[in-house]
């Protein structure tokens, strides 16, 4: 590309020798500039490594402003679903960034803005009727489909609930078998007409046809003859990008963990659980974007901000947002 523009400019210079000399000089200066930029980038990278290695990520200050308001808002929804799950004996645990935040930051990851929980498929399938009776009131409502999402009025924030399925062996597949298992899950998702991005934007509902296809492929291709207490994995119908498999004993029995002052639950072998998801989960991330892309703070407007204030004031009367 650089040669193209330099040649283009030089075309307007009338003398051939002069054109060549100027082109050579321009290329030389261009290369010097590129070398300087690359050197500065390397210096910045090294400085970033030094800074990150000298800072304890768990001691970073919590979020402030709109991001903090959204976190408190989601926390209020978590309180509601926690109460319901305890009442009906439904076992759930914190997952993904929520679990990482609970372990590493004793609350939210400073730049995170949603809450994720998981539960076994048998409990997940009981939830819709329970939510209709216990949750859908006073401005709260839920939406099903790829996963279950819990909302309050017009706010853009929510709590995600993921189903977890059982495998057909006690131990998760390993090596080649594990790779094949993940490839089969990707195959199922790629051969459906479902667009998770459109679903998140509420532009495309999840059809019964899509769910039936996923469940059929799961039972025939992935885990025929699943067993009790078999290895566990996030439901194939979900849009989870980082697919993992855990032994039943990696998750159960669940252990209590405090999340921003609320007693919730975590997997039995949480360090290993997080390692499979994130690798070195005490390191700074390479990408600070949330799983759903744009920060939810950017979606707050004058109306749904009031909904956030309203819900937060119910649980934190003295907290100004």
CB 312 within 8 A of CB 72: yes
The residue written with tokens 């991330």 in the block is: 285
Whether 157 shows a pLDDT value over 90: the answer reads no
Determine the Cα–Cα distance for residues 69 and 299; give it in Å rounded to an integer. Answer: 13
- 22-31, 62-71, 230-239: least confident range: 22-31
CB 84 within 8 A of CB 38: no
Whether 44 shows a pLDDT value over 50: the answer reads yes
Domain presence at residue 5: no
Q: Which of 29, 31, 26 lies closest to 7 in space, CA to CA?
A: 26
Q: Are residues 114 and 238 in the same domain?
A: yes
- 72-76, 79-83, 198-202, 206-210: least confident range: 198-202
Q: Are residues 205 and 234 in the same domain?
A: yes
- 42-51, 57-66, 137-146: least confident range: 42-51
Q: Are residues 35 and 79 in the same domain?
A: no
Position with higher pLDDT, 240 vs 152: 152
Q: Are residues 122 and 252 in the same domain?
A: yes
Residue range 189-211, pLDDT digits in tens: 777 666 656 555 555 567 788 88
Q: Please state the rounded mean pLDDT for residues 25-41.
A: 77
Residue 174 Cα to chain centre, angstroms: 24
Determine the Cα–Cα distance for residues 31 and 46; give it in Å rounded to an integer. Answer: 22
Domain presence at residue 79: yes
Whether 47 shows a pLDDT value over 80: the answer reads no
Q: Are residues 131 and 29 in the same domain?
A: no
Contacts of 165 (CB under 8 A, 6+ apart): 121, 218, 223, 226, 232, 233, 234, 235, 236
Determine the Cα–Cα distance for residues 186 and 166; give it in Å rounded to an integer. Answer: 18
Q: Are residues 165 and 25 in the same domain?
A: no
Q: Are residues 187 and 152 in the same domain?
A: yes
Boundaries of domain holding 37: 20-49
Tokens standing for residue 91: 């076992």
CB 150 within 8 A of CB 226: no
Residue 16: the pLDDT is 62
Q: Please, which pLDDT band fits residue 240 given cuts at 50, 70 and 90?
A: confident
Determine the Cα–Cα distance for residues 224 and 17; give it in Å rounded to an integer. Answer: 75
Q: Are residues 39 and 97 in the same domain?
A: no
Position with higher pLDDT, 211 vs 84: 84
Cα distances from 311 to residues 41, 153, 298, in angstroms, run 45, 9, 19
Residue 35: the pLDDT is 79
Phi and psi at residue 159, in whole multiples of 5°? -115, 130
Number of domains observed in the structure of the chain: 2
Position with higher pLDDT, 253 vs 307: 253
Domain presence at residue 236: yes
Q: Are residues 164 and 32 in the same domain?
A: no
Q: Are residues 45 and 68 in the same domain?
A: no
Q: Are residues 26 and 147 in the same domain?
A: no
Cα distances from 254 to residues 166, 203, 270, 279, in angstroms, run 16, 36, 10, 22
Domain presence at residue 12: no
Whether 320 shows a pLDDT value over 50: the answer reads no
Domain presence at residue 4: no
Domain presence at residue 58: no
Residue 85: the pLDDT is 97
The 3-class secondary structure across the chain, one letter per residue, is CHHHHHHHHHCCCCCHHHHHHHHHHHHHHHHHHHHHHHHHHHHHHHHHHHHHHHCCHHHCCCCCHHHHHHHHHHHHHHHHHHHHHHHCCCCCEECHHHHHHHHHCCCCCCCCCCEEEEEEHHHHCCHHHHHHHHCCCCCEEEECCCCEEEEECCCCCCEEEEEEEECCCCCCCCHHHHHHHHHHHHHHHHCCCCCHHHHHCCCCCCCHHHHHHHHHHHHHHHCCCCCCCCCEEECCCCCCCCCCCECHHHHCCCEEEEECCEEEEECCCHHHHHHHHHCCCCCCCCCCCECCECCHHHHCCHHHHHHHHHHHHHHCCCCCC
Residue 319: the pLDDT is 47
Q: Please, which pLDDT band fits residue 321 given cuts at 50, 70 and 90?
A: very low
Q: Are residues 182 and 284 in the same domain?
A: yes
Domain presence at residue 71: yes
Looking at the chain, the whole-number percentage of residues with pLDDT higher than 70 is 80
Domain presence at residue 261: yes
Residue 163: the pLDDT is 97
Q: Please state the rounded mean pLDDT for residues 249-268.
A: 95
Q: Which of 159, 158, 152, 164 lies closest to 125 in space, CA to CA?
A: 164
Whether 28 shows a pLDDT value over 60: the answer reads yes
Residue range 120-153, pLDDT digits in tens: 999 999 999 999 999 999 999 999 888 999 999 9
Whether 104 shows a pLDDT value over 90: the answer reads yes
Position with higher pLDDT, 93 vs 39: 93
Mean pLDDT (the chain) is 84
């Amino acid at each position: 590309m650089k040669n193209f523009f330099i040649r283009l400019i030089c075309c307007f210079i009338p003398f051939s020798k002069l054109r060549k000399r100027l082109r050579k000089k321009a290329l030389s200066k261009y290369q010097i500039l590129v070398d300087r930029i690359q050197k500065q980038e390397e210096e910045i990278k090294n400085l970033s490594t030094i800074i990150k290695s000298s800072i304890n990520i768990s001691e970073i200050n919590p979020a402030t402003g709109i991001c903090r308001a959204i976190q408190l808002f989601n926390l209020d929804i978590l309180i509601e679903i926690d109460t319901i799950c305890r009442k009906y004996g439904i076992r759930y645990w914190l997952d993904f960034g929520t679990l990482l935040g609970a372990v590493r930051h004793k609350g939210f990851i400073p730049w995170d803005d949603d809450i994720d929980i998981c539960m076994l498929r048998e409990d997940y399938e009981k939830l819709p009727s329970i939510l209709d009776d216990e949750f859908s009131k006073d401005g709260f409502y839920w939406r099903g489909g790829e996963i279950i999402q819990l909302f309050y009025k017009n706010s853009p924030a929510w709590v995600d609930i993921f189903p977890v399925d059982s495998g057909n062996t006690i131990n998760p597949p390993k090596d080649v078998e594990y790779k094949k298992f993940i490839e089969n899950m990707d195959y199922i998702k790629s051969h459906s007409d479902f667009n998770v991005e459109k679903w998140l934007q509420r532009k495309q509902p999840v059809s019964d046809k899509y769910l039936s296809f996923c469940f059929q492929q799961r039972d025939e291709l992935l885990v025929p003859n699943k067993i009790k207490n078999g290895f566990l994995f996030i439901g194939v119908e979900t849009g989870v990008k980082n697919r993992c498999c855990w032994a039943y004993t990696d998750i159960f029995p669940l252990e209590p963990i405090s999340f921003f002052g609320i007693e919730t639950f975590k997997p039995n072998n949480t360090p290993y659980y997080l390692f499979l998801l994130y690798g070195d989960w005490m390191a700074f991330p390479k990408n600070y974007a949330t799983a759903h892309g744009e920060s939810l703070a950017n979606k707050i407007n004058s109306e749904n901000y009031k909904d956030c204030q309203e819900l937060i004031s119910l649980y934190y009367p003295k907290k100004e947002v």
